[in-house]
Amino acid sequence: MNFSSWPELLVVDVEGNGHHPPDLVEVAALPVRDGQPDKSTAGAWLTRPRRPVTSFVASQVHGLTNQMLEQQPRWEEISEEVHARLGTAWIAAHSAHVEYRVLCAHLPKWRPAGVIDTVRLAKVTYPDLPKYGLDALIKHIQPDLSQAPAQRHRATFDAYATAQLLLAMAQHYDRWDQIVAAAVPPGLPGTPEPEQEPTLW
């Protein structure tokens, strides 16, 4: 795989407060450059949600409590910075339609160039796996996560793990457009245009 042919790409992950629809409590955006996650230019934000974090997600998922977030900025205070960091780059995420939908709800003027879903890519790359969750893929691929920040279910860790999974799966493909064909969810930005039949007119 020639990584120099890849467009600008950010692996993103978001964590919410446990409500539906969620308020954001954490966002991570990790650039992938030259076949490596670039932590030196990554973006990571904590934000105090409008509604309290539920006890379930605080204790059983990401571990971010209302007390930990009470001094963090409101989303309105950081949304422009997050929007600027995401820009018009491609994004990749695990179950990307979820991250995309949540980010679009919080950044109504933002649209990425395209969306790569590592779940879809994994189903094409490893068609016989019984499960395709992040933990199942980490167990199967065994990426090096020794440099991952924080811990599982925090946005920074999950973005780093997803980036390593994406890069491992990319080794099974020769070109970027093959990854796009396998991994962009229908109807999301970056979906390949169907080939047009040639006509006389």
Tell me: the pLDDT tens digits for 21-31?
Answer: 999 999 999 99
State both tokens at 147.
């440099």
Is the confidence at residue 62, as pLDDT, over 80?
Answer: yes
Mean pLDDT of 57-79: 97
For 86-127, how does the pLDDT look when each residue is reduced to its tens digit (9 = 90+)?
Answer: 999 999 999 999 999 999 999 999 999 999 999 999 999 999
Residue type at position 114: G
C-beta of residue 47 within 8 angstroms of C-beta of residue 72: yes
C-beta of residue 94 within 8 angstroms of C-beta of residue 158: yes
Is the confidence at residue 199, as pLDDT, over 70?
Answer: no
- Among residues 105, 134, 113, the alpha carbon closest in space to that of 122 is found at 134
Could you give the CA distance from residue 16 to residue 186 in angstroms, rounded to a whole number?
25
pTM of the model: 0.94
